[in-house]
Structure 1
Amino acid sequence: MWKATVRLRLRLVLVVALAVLEGGRCEGEECWKRRIHIRKLPAMFNLDLLVNCSEYPMLEDLCPYMGNHGLGQKTHNRSHSWYRTDPWMLELIFHRRMLEYPCLTQDPSEADAIYLPYYAGLDALRYLYGPLANSSAQHGLHLFHFLQHDNPQIFQRRMSHDHFLVMARPAWDFSQPLSNDPPIWGTSFLELPHFFNVTALTLESRAWPWQDHAVPYPTSFHPPNLPLLDSWLTRARRSNRPVLALFAGGGGVSSSPNIRRSIRNECDNASSSSDSSYHTLCQIVDCSNGICEHDPIRFMRPMLQATFCLQPPGNTPTRRSTFDAILAGCIPVFFEDLSAKLQYPWHLPQPDFEDFSVFIPKEEVVFRGLRILDVLQRIPRAKVRTMRERVLDLIPAVLYRKHSASPGLRAKKDAFDLAIDGVLAKIRSRLHDLDMPATVV
């Protein structure tokens, strides 16, 4: 009974928020070529997917992570910025932020872009784990049929090149070929010809950038005002870092050669540091079985004490831990380019990637015996300080601030703002390349 009450309360809160905020509008030069229309979709595409938050197959109760419009529950009662955020709630977080976007228009004919508030990742769960696993090619068809029959001119006017949505999973989870029978893993949403022209913001993109574009995983830090952000930046900047390298994660216990196994072996066998500035050469925070996922204290405190944070790929190349590390001012160490360099060009500066990160090819470590700690110890101390300052500079750009944030904090562009800038620029570029009008009135 209490779960039903929680679900009903959550739905009522969201409905009120949608009714109050949706349809806001800004006039003037600041909205030139930045107007966005939020497409009104039936509740089956978003709010109704939240109602059964405790009943998704193969998953724990998701209801606690839907609180605070997707930020989750606070880590403790007195916290103003820290939440138990689940990265799969990005669709809900993004929708709530879109409702306060200053350049909304109720008239789709005036819009430069159309946002589809479809919770694709949540809807995908029934195809990934539920009774519809053998019908995964159907994922997205109900949305397409709605767009084709409800004011179809909106979806068709620019051949849907001006539409975008958020999909809170790696793009590979939506990329199963339609020809796979029986299905292997994932749905075929991004393989449907109907959505080839729609931009999908995913947590991890594929190698080709036409449809999907990666945006940062949500961390647990969502400050509501500038003083709280500045306070955290000061803490990260002043933090003593007696640990050379840290790995927060699981895996690496199999007998087959892989980068995580190499990291664990090297850390376990690391000798004491001859450099007086480091008390520990390598530290592991064991996050096996998801024990760290909603408990940021487990890994944020160790990250604040580490100089370098190791970011090996796992099931997919990218990791939420990359953004946790940046948030802590811990210099990320990557082992393949797909982990970040080829993923987040809107949020991480591509030409100067080596200014804030270290790259060590995983093949050199796993098969040729290159020692990670030796590489890191050879980096000059002055270079390390410069890299950490660059990491600290990136923090505002990779966090998702709390909705209804103070004006001072809204003046700093966060991950959401940069994603919107990127989407609008991508749509303008695509329409220009196709010689289609950027504005239809």
Structure 2
Amino acid sequence: MCKYLENSGFGPLIGSYYYPSWYATNQFMLEVIFHEKMKRYKCLTRNSLLASAVYVPYYAGLDFRRKLRRRNVAARDAAGKELVKWLKKQPQWKGMSGRDHFLVTGRISRDFRRNSDNNSGWGTNLMLLPESQNLSFLTIERNPTSHNEFAIPYPTYFHPTSAIEISQWQDKIKLTNRTVLFSFAGAQRPRRNQNGLVRTKVMNQCKSSSKTCRFLDCDVKANGCDDPISLMKLFEDSVFCLQPPGDSLTRRSVFDSILAGCIPVFFNQGSAYKQYVWHIPENNSEYSVYIPVKELRAGGDNKIEEILRGISNERVVGMRENVIKLVPKIVYTKPNQNEPGGEVLEDAFDIAVKRVIERIDGLKRRKLNGE
């Protein structure tokens, strides 16, 4: 993972891909990126009594990765337990018992919700610790039943330096000639669960519609998705980008496709609609297509193509315009790069910080009112 820590967590530069703001960013680098941006955040205060919220710069995802293969759950849980033990001793904790604290995890919620001490169990128990119930967690995929988790976008490859750079990119993808009706970038998943079955169905339909669908194989042996440029080129050429669940309900690919101006096609409400409520519109049909699993199963081998072909050109143009409007909200810009006197960027980071502060303000008000 070391090479991905370069450039404030953005990873190595991808040469001069359109603009000099493209990086080979790893999808699990969010906590590093967020920390680097937070260190330069314009509203920091050294006086914790004046703070609206307290950010905890703990790299839970990298710690998880480091201890992923350890059989001993005590070793996997040690750093998280040490963290909350330390936090409880700090004077900042006492006023709200940690309810005004938040931290960012660069992996999905499931990786931190192991509810047994069985050594064969997956992940750590960080989010299930008693103290953690008071924290606000910002994560790339939330547990839909959790009261204190909030999903924010996966990092993409584009980290612009200015509003002008974003506008230039938006103008480019508006004019892109899209020669492929729909595409899918991904690899096979085990068929033992619902997600694996859906993905298999999607892959098979893409392959059977070879004249209208392009498939990029992300299998480890094929390594088709290791090259960001190949991936982005595919999405830029496509009108629609298929986004079936994979190892979990969400995918980084959702945000790569939005960045490319490609309309995402979802097969589960939990892949985006019930996740990124701070960053994407409530009216899902404005920017995406939803095909329920039962409709996918009931249809023939070309059901996806049939549905997508049935969407009017006028509606496609409108959806694409709305997708392109989302670009500023789903990218993480370079830290402290707003142009003096120019238009101030509000990126995915700014939206997340604003919303978590609003949440904590609400908790403080309820406490004052004795609720």
Residue matched to 1:166: 104
User: Equivalent of 1:361, from 285, 288, 292?
Assistant: 292
| Native 8 Å contact 1:245 1:308 kept in 2 | yes
Residue 187 of structure 2 is aligned to residue 250 of structure 1 = yes
Residue of structure 2 aligned with 1:311, choices 225, 230, 243: 243
Kindly report which structure 2 residues correspond to 1:75-224, keeping only aligned pairs within 5 A, or say none.
75-76=14-15, 80-130=20-70, 132-133=72-73, 135-149=75-89, 152-177=90-115, 179-224=116-161
Q: Which runs of 5+ in 2 are unaligned?
A: none
- Whole-Å separation in 2 of the counterparts to 1:125 and 1:104: 30
Partner residue in 2 for 1:414? 347
Residues 142 and 151, structure 2, Cα contact 8 Å, conserved in 1? yes
Q: Mark the CA change 1:368 to 1:135 in structure 2 (over 3 Å): closer, same or farther.
A: farther
1:291-310 deviations in Å (ceiling 9; x for gaps):
35552112101111110000
Q: In structure 2, the residue corresponding to 1:424 is in which secondary structure?
A: helix
CA shift digits 1:72-128 (9 cap, x unpaired): 010126851100101211111111101111111001111010001111111122442
Looking at structure 1, the residues matched to 68 and 342 of structure 2 have their Cα atoms a distance apart, in angstroms, of 38
Q: Which of 283, 295, 298 is the aligned partner of 2:214?
A: 283
| 1:270, distance to aligned residue in structure 2 (A) | 1.9
Relative distance call for 1:133 and 1:126 in structure 2 (3 A) is farther
Distance in 1 (alpha carbons) for counterparts of 2:349 and 2:212: 36
TM-align CA RMSD: 2.2
Of 153, 174, 177, the residue aligned with 1:240 is 177
Amino acid across the alignment from 1:305: D
Q: 1:293 to 1:281 in 2, by over 3 A?
A: closer
1:362-381 equivalences under 5 Å are: 362-366=293-297, 368-369=299-300, 371-381=303-313
Shift of 1:375: 0.7
Q: Secondary structure at the match of 2:334?
A: coil
Partners of 1:85 and 1:294 within 8 A in 2: no
Q: Please tell me the residue identity of whatever aligns with 1:68.
A: N
The TM-score, its normalising length taken from structure 2, stands at 0.92
SS in 2 for 1:148: helix
Greater relative contact order (CA < 8 Å, ≥ 6 in sequence): 2
For 2:188 and 2:256, locate their aligned partners in 1 and report how far apart those are by CA, in whole Å.
18
Q: Percent identity?
A: 37
| Letter in structure 2 aligned against 1:233 | Q
Alpha-carbon spacing, 1:331–1:203, altered in 2? closer, same or farther (3 Å):
same
What TM-score comes out, normalization by structure 1 length? 0.78
How many residues in Structure 1 have an aligned counterpart in Structure 2?
A: 364
Match of 2:317 in 1: 385
Q: Higher mean Cα deviation, 164-173 or 205-214? A: 205-214
Q: Does the 8 Å CA contact 1:176/1:183 hold for their aligned counterparts?
A: no
In 1, the alpha carbon distance for the partners of 2:113 and 2:70 equals 18
* Offset, 1:190: 0.4
After superposition, the C-alpha distances for 1:326-381 in whole angstroms (9 at most, x for unaligned) are: 0000000000000000000110012x111100000123213554711111111111
| Mapped partners of 2:16, 2:281: distance in 1 | 36
Residue aligning to 1:73: 12
Name the counterpart of 2:263: 331
The gaps in structure 1 that reach 5 residues or longer are 1-61, 272-279
- Could you say what secondary structure the match of 1:87 adopts? coil
Alpha-carbon distance change, 255 to 198 in structure 1, aligned in 2, over 3 angstroms: closer
2:230 matched residue in structure 1: 298
1:424 alignment partner in structure 2: 357
